[in-house]
Structure 1
Amino acid sequence: MEFNGGHRLHVVMFPFFAFGHISPFVQLSKKLSLHGVQISFFSALGNVNRIKSMLHSDSAPTTTQVIPLTLPPVEGLPPGLESTSDLSRAQSELLNLALDLMQPQISSLLSQLKPHFVLFDFAQDWLPPLASQLGIKTVFYSIFVALSTSYLTVPARLPRSTAYLARPSAIEDLKKPPPGFPETSIKSVKTFEARGFLYMFKSFYSGASVYDRVLRGLNGCDVILAKTCREMEGPYVDYVTQQFKKPVLLVGPVVPEPSSEPLEGRWASWLGQFEPKSVIYCSFGSEAFLSDEQVKELLLGLDLTGLPFFVVLNFPANTDISAELKRALPEGFLEKVKHKAVIHAGWVQQEQILAHQSVGCYVFHAGFSSVVEAIVNDCQLVMLPVRGDQLLNAKLVSGDLKAGVEVNRRDVDGYFGKDDIKDAVGRVMADIDKEPAKSIRGNHKKWKEFLQNSEIQTKFVSDLVKEMEAMAGLHTV
């Protein structure tokens, strides 16, 4: 357990038990390792092997040790299932309660490890006072874009309560930015998006809401660290700093290293039969799911583009995938598109597929890590956000950065049809020398060059390390 190098910066990484949260903490750990930072990575035992695999790097040995945590029993939470990917959404809320019961275990580990900092996530709002008693500084690591924090989880959104949410005005309030919000392209959101944001303010199993946890964590921590940069989100960074009145450090977009693993032969062979940049790749991640009706309209819309497409569909845990696919696919669709399309359920090598020369467009849920991944691989962005921060990511990319398009949807219920999919793809893939495709592609190229500039991206991390070393009272040679 002993892992304190004395004069070397030592941080604990403690993400929420969802791989959408774990992955950004792993990516940051790999970047910090290249600068000699010692890292102790906390996660539930069931996640450890996958995290170790994610931490593996061909470019440099890791300075990270993964420390397994014992998840306390919580009624309704199946034993051995320790990440949200294995649980229903209702069960996933129970992970918050399990985390609340882990305070003695975390206190004991921190007392042994004596790190300089603990980087924690939204659910561990109890961590700042606990770590402070041990003389350890806390960093709230926001894996979401600063726009998301600015719009949803700043003190200016107060008051929020269960009673408040029952009022008809709640959705109307959430359609508008909070007081003092900066002047940018984001003026409002649609009704269905605001309704989705209500989830942030709901209490489950008598526990604190996500909003309450985030606000307590941001107010209680010593430092806020954001996975963004001023070039992309300057006004929102300033607003967050103003709202919380404490240091806001930026680590940049944290561009992942290219994988050295080759693409699986069957997919390489299939993609290889098409012209460069002609294939649409479509995926919504492992934990964002479309309804049967949405799947039908999506597939019919992709077919209408006339381009080849590769669609990855995922379904909630413990569902019959064959039955789900049969119900979701339009009748006779597989036979109709068999020469120009792949419909696949389950995991694929997304990074390698996006990097393939034949792939030129990415239709996806607007997870920001996926945004970065697509831009560096020169794939045009067509965003169809499903929930949460994805809804704001899409507005940042299409509105402020002007580097992609969002599928048009109906205001009240978010409905989209096949023609909306076809039109969105056409705006970035058809007539590329005409507007709007020409401007979008120009901005896309600018951000690709920025994200691929290794000097800029390395400086984000090296500057962060220097600032943290200064805060910890360490002197570098």
Structure 2
Amino acid sequence: MTNSTEESKLEIVMFPWLAFGYLIPYMNLSNELAKRGHKISFLLPQNAEIRLQKLNLYPNLIKFHKLTIPHVDGLPYGAETTADVHRSLESLLATAMDELYDEIKSFLQNLKPHFIFFDFAYWIPDLAREIGGIKTLFYTVFCPAVACISFIRSPDKAIFMASTAAELVKPPPGYPSTTVVLHECEAKLLPFLFHEYGKGVTFYERLKKGLTRCNAIAMKSCREIEGNFCDYIATQFEKPVLYTGPVISVPKKEPLEEHGLSNWLEKFEPGFN
């Protein structure tokens, strides 16, 4: 019979967007959770495993589950992350991620984890409810302030697209800051929210559906720094916002690997300006 400490440990699944800027923060959070004894199943593309293996501090608790990313017409063969494609093709990569639905469903049905952390896979909350017994956490690597001023607002598409940059910089009702606001040059970029990002779904819908349907939202921040923004997000979505803290990779203790940049830097005298 297992003891109470063992029984209290959680089975957690990580399913981040197919980009190293997301995979690595999810890996860092996995290390923090594994440090506390929880088991992690990390879903990732096959070509990402080698890079993330170096960051896995608890290989006995963090297990990688390699996904076979489906080929979508228009994507280069073998493309698995945003590092493999031009930015203009990211929508096709999102389509490929959505086509993992059946594989993810089978995996979750067999594992039956307590929690799954996700972001761009907006269909995860509905899938988890269908399977039953799985709580979903939308873990965003965006800082809460950025999320508030760009992704959290709930615009009508027609009104939004007809708005001028000067109108878009006006904070939404209840927004908690008068200093952290959009500038007009930034507001001009916001229409990308309504660009297709995956088959039949816009970038904005992909985020909004995940945030609306999840059980809780997790933020890579802490209350002392961005508590007012997280409170605003919690109010907008009427669900708890959890703080992961600014989780980062543990600095390496071994010597740096030999490569061209270090050799070039060694040509300069100490104190060179």
Q: TM (normalized to structure 2)?
A: 0.89
Residue deviations 1:253-290 (CA, integer Å, cap 9, x gap):
1133111132345256246x232xxx7xxxxxxxxxxx
1:212 is the counterpart of 2:205: yes
1:126 is the counterpart of 2:128: no
In structure 1, runs of 5+ residues without a counterpart are 280-307, 309-477
**Residue of 86, 89, 105 corresponding to 1:88:** 86
Q: What's 1:294 paired with?
A: none
Distance change >3 Å, CA 98–CA 54, structure 1 → 2: same
Distance change >3 Å, CA 48–CA 256, structure 1 → 2: closer
Give the letter aligned to residue 124 of structure 1. A
**SS of equivalent residue, structure 2 residue 122:** coil
Instruction: Give yes or no for contact 1:46–1:81 (8 Å, CA) kept in 2.
Output: no
Distance change >3 Å, CA 150–CA 269, structure 1 → 2: same
Distance change >3 Å, CA 64–CA 267, structure 1 → 2: farther
Shift of 1:69: 1.1
Residue deviations 1:410-437 (CA, integer Å, cap 9, x gap):
xxxxxxxxxxxxxxxxxxxxxxxxxxxx
**Residue of 251, 254, 267 corresponding to 2:247:** 254
1:192 is the counterpart of 2:190: no
1:158 is the counterpart of 2:121: no
Give the letter aligned to residue 40 of structure 1. S
Q: What's 1:44 paired with?
A: 45
Instruction: Give yes or no for contact 1:124–1:217 (8 Å, CA) kept in 2.
Output: yes
Shift of 1:107: 0.5
1:109 is the counterpart of 2:103: no
Number of equivalenced pairs: 263
Residue deviations 1:427-470 (CA, integer Å, cap 9, x gap):
xxxxxxxxxxxxxxxxxxxxxxxxxxxxxxxxxxxxxxxxxxxx
Give the letter aligned to residue 176 of structure 1. K
1:243 is the counterpart of 2:236: yes
Give the letter aligned to residue 11 of structure 1. I
Distance change >3 Å, CA 32–CA 268, structure 1 → 2: farther
Instruction: Give yes or no for contact 1:171–1:198 (8 Å, CA) kept in 2.
Output: no
Distance change >3 Å, CA 206–CA 112, structure 1 → 2: closer
Task: Quote the RMSD (CA, aligned, Å).
Answer: 2.0
Instruction: Give yes or no for contact 1:140–1:221 (8 Å, CA) kept in 2.
Output: yes
**SS of equivalent residue, structure 1 residue 50:** helix
1:174 is the counterpart of 2:165: no
Distance 2:96 2:145 in 1: 29
Distance 1:235 1:165 in 2: 26
Shift of 1:144: 0.9
Q: What's 2:270 paired with?
A: 274
**SS of equivalent residue, structure 1 residue 40:** strand
Per chain length, whose mean CA-contact separation is higher, i.e. which structure has more relative contact order (CA < 8 Å, sep 6+)? 2
Instruction: Give yes or no for contact 1:171–1:191 (8 Å, CA) kept in 2.
Output: yes
Q: What's 1:140 paired with?
A: 138
Give the letter aligned to residue 30 of structure 2. S
Give the letter aligned to residue 109 of structure 2. S
Q: TM (normalized to structure 1)?
A: 0.52
Distance 1:102 1:204 in 2: 16
Q: What's 1:417 paired with?
A: none
Instruction: Give yes or no for contact 2:25–2:248 (8 Å, CA) kept in 1.
Output: no
Q: What's 2:75 paired with?
A: 77
Give the letter aligned to residue 87 of structure 2. R
**SS of equivalent residue, structure 1 residue 129:** helix
Q: What's 1:26 paired with?
A: 27
Residue deviations 1:175-227 (CA, integer Å, cap 9, x gap):
222221013422x4222211122212222565312211111101100011110
Q: What's 1:323 paired with?
A: none
In structure 2, runs of 5+ residues without a counterpart are 1-5
Distance change >3 Å, CA 110–CA 170, structure 1 → 2: farther
**SS of equivalent residue, structure 1 residue 54:** coil
Larger Rg: 1
Give the letter aligned to residue 252 of structure 1. G
Instruction: Give yes or no for contact 1:30–1:62 (8 Å, CA) kept in 2.
Output: no
Instruction: Give yes or no for contact 2:91–2:196 (8 Å, CA) kept in 1.
Output: no
Distance change >3 Å, CA 255–CA 114, structure 1 → 2: same
